[in-house]
Amino acid sequence: MTAPRPPSGRSRSLQDSSESEKMEGTGSWDALEWTKIEPVSRSVSFGNLDCLLEEERVIVEGYGVVLMNTDEAGTLLVTNFRILFLSEGTRKIIPLGTIPLATIEKFSKMVQKIQSNTRQSEKNLPRRLLQVTGKDMRIIVYGFRPRTKQRRAVFDALLRCSKPVRIWDLYTFACGPSKFCNTDPKERLLNEYFRLLGRSSLRASVDMIEDGSFTLSNEMWRITGLNSSYNLCQTYPFALMVPKSISDEELLQASTFRARCRLPVITWCQPGGGAVLARSSQPLVGLMMNMRSNYDEKLAASFCTQLAACDGTRRKLYIADARPRKNALANGAMGGGSESSSNYFQSEIVFFGIDNIHGMRESFCRLRDYVDMHGTTSSDGMSSFLRHGGWSWSGGNLSSMSASVSTLGDSGWLIHVQSVLAGAAWIAARVAMESASVLVHCSDGWDRTTQLVALACLLLDPYYRTFAGFQALVEKDWLAFGHPFSDRVGMPNISGSGTELPRQSSSVASYPSSPVRQSTTSMASQSSSSSHGQNNYSPIFLQWVDCVAQLLRMYPSAFEFSSTFLVDFMDCVLSCRFGNFLCNSEKERQLCGISESCGCLWAYLADLRSSGAISHVHSNPFYDPLRFDGPLLPPAAALAPTIWPQFHLRWACPLEASAAEIEVQCRAMAAKYSETQKVTHPSSLPGEVDSNPHPTVNGFTAEPSRPFSSRLYERKLFPSVKV
């Protein structure tokens, strides 16, 4: 249910409607006389534009099109990758009107009648409008010249290309790896496991994966290859980190007690201690909540290792259920449910009350409508300053200002973000302050569970706040552990592409009745066109990145990357230009040959940074790894999120969304300082020893310009403090 909006003199947005719908209204667009727009010569070819990417080809061209949001006239091109909107005279790309096809959530045709004051025969020509709603907070409206078939041609092209039935029809397969080649993500996962086990000197290889020699261990934990053929769990990675005291046979038995066989496994372990973060799906306790599994209880108890004290005391286990308590109990009707603390050794059950994917999707839509309604470049072409009956904020229309703030609150987005942040902070505090272990799950263990676990890891481990660590975190907890990106982003998956997945092993398939026991293959995950119909689309990953941006705002010196990096990273994910985030699991990506057939997002972002080094906009000029070399434990009072301006406001309020001036100045000064250091302090000669080597934090070298940037930041904010 959408939030109520304050009344206004005209409708805010061009809502979804059929072509026969007519909307009355006037606005700044009326000054444009459609009959005077001269179409570009049809002999002009756009096939060789410099702005086209590799293997990008133009499918449809539209001339004399107007971007209603900003009243800009230009040429609209639909390619096999995106909608390109070029300015009328210069042919420069207009960013607001240019959107990748995969980023489009929906589109529709509309007609709006123009009330003109001129005495012309065509004074009542209707506006032929096409509204495009993006997954990146955009609502774009294009206007087409009347009495042409350009809008029909563009609409048909979008029908064919924006929601392909087969995954192979995505642009990334046509482009191929190009220069952004991808290494095997399995190797990177193993390297992260080796780091967690304290074996960072080892490097994974293809041979190690093929011969199974990656099953290493330390005194408490081990890597198992039990799922190397995905027979244990189709949505888990090929390698799992588990307690050393639990055998593979016990793991196999324990998996039958968890939904979709997603048994409890370790995703992070405390360096030098025994506390762990573990993840799973809900237990299958049944309607009466009386079903038990000795293997599952033994596996959970193995996370309660001995504390550092010599008295033999074992650490506590918190079981964090991300769902509201009533939802967890309701799942018992389908065979699921939640644990009982009396059945699990030294445990305590906590419910976080985080909403499901449907609530998040509806909240995001309300937030997008709010930003579009109250922005300076709204989809109806009218600024929020002039929206309410001709009044402006400066004219004293305080009631509409209050109503806009109320509408933001009614969207619920910031409340949801706060719930995820609070849950992750609670988990991190239990591990860091009590040295307790925490097992996190929701229903399936791949949406809310992943949000909480990945965010808690980011708080606990400073390595994950670097470029390399952030990549390792995303690839481990989001990709390897089976967040269904195809379903959540709304793209075709392997089920709709004509490839049949192997079925689960017989030990799992012997439980036929409950839906929560069914394998991912048997679940109805269809192509993107039906994904919306099944309500599987939801901005879960975007919400998590939003949470990361909130932490970056709270701790501006704790992250190596900037908010701009997060925006560009999210754009790459939504565009599906690269293959890393296709499909629903590691197994599906392997069957599709993604790493060999598609370009790598991480390689692309690294290539962008290589040109600017620390002065690049992706690098955080305030980063100080020596100051923040431990856990981040934000107090509850600090967990008050705000709109993420760089992402949420960049289209509707571009000036307000730009980076802070102090960050721009600091980055420029840091670059000048770095160049000065190169001149005044050249590299040491061979044989000389640097008396002040760069310090290392978690194996990463602290760059010399970082402390300077941090000191510069402190001088600007606190000029009286000596640093």
Q: Are strands 276-279 and 265-269 parallel, antiparallel or unpaired?
A: antiparallel
Residue 181's SS3 state is: coil
- d(Cα 95, Cα 226) in Å, to the nearest integer? 48
Treating both helix axes as pointing N-terminal to C-terminal, what angle do 413-434 and 448-460 enclose, rounded to 10 degrees?
50
- d(Cα 695, Cα 194) in Å, to the nearest integer? 22
Q: Is 583 a catalytic residue?
A: no
> Which of 494, 545, 563, 565 has the alpha carbon at shortest distance from 523?
494
The structure tokens listed for 509 are: 């398939």
- d(Cα 214, Cα 205) in Å, to the nearest integer? 9
75 has which bridge partners? 86
Instruction: Give one DSSP letter per residue of 511-568, joined into a string.
Output: --S-GGGS-TTTS----HHHHTTTT----HHHHHHHHHHHHHHH-TTS-SB-HHHHHH
**219: CB partners within 8 A, 6+ apart:** 244
Owner of token pair 């191929």: 176
Q: Nearest 5 degrees, angle CA 497-CA 500-CA 451?
A: 75
Q: How far apart are the first and last CA of the chain?
A: 53
> Which of 170, 182, 134 has the alpha carbon at shortest distance from 542?
134
- d(Cα 623, Cα 557) in Å, to the nearest integer? 4
- d(Cα 231, Cα 249) in Å, to the nearest integer? 13
Residue 591 CA, chain-centre distance (Å), reads 23
**Where do the DSSP E strands lie in 298-370?**
317-321, 347-351
The structure tokens listed for 37 are: 């727009």
> Which of 123, 225, 204, 638 has the alpha carbon at shortest distance from 418?
638
The amino acid occupying position 253 is Q
The structure tokens listed for 557 are: 């010196």
Neighbours of 334 (CB within 10 A): 18
Neighbours of 168 (CB within 10 A): 15
Q: Nearest 5 degrees, angle CA 211-CA 215-CA 221?
A: 175
List 161, 175, 261, 442, catalytic entry: 442
Return the active site residues: 442
